[in-house]
Amino acid sequence: MTVVVDRLKGKTQQGHLFVAVLGASSLAFAEEALEREASGLAGCHVNAIEAFVAWETAVVR
């Protein structure tokens, strides 16, 4: 997948789609990662968990 980084200059950069799904609740989280290295993917995992926790907190209250 190619991601446009700068529309004015026309520069593009390779990107990767990270998807996390909680099957029992049908919740899904998607984020674009510019790196496939562990540090980039770890950040995607953290963001997904934070999004799921925020959703759970909003529904339970």
CA-based Rg of the chain, rounded to a whole angstrom?
15
- Backbone phi, then psi, for 42, in 5-degree steps? -65, -40
Instruction: Domain count for the chain, please give it.
Output: 1
- Which DSSP letter does residue 18 get? E
Q: What is the model's pTM?
A: 0.68
| pLDDT (0 to 100) of residue 38 | 79
How confident is the prediction along the chain (61 residues), in pLDDT tens digits per residue?
667 677 788 888 888 889 999 888 888 999 988 777 877 788 999 999 999 888 766 665 5
Asked whether 37 and 48 are in contact (CB, 8 A), the reply is: no
How far apart CA 7 and CA 29 sit, in angstroms, is 26
The two three-digit tokens of residue 59, written as one number: 């529904």
pLDDT at 59: 63
List the domain range (segments joined by +) for residue 42: 2-60
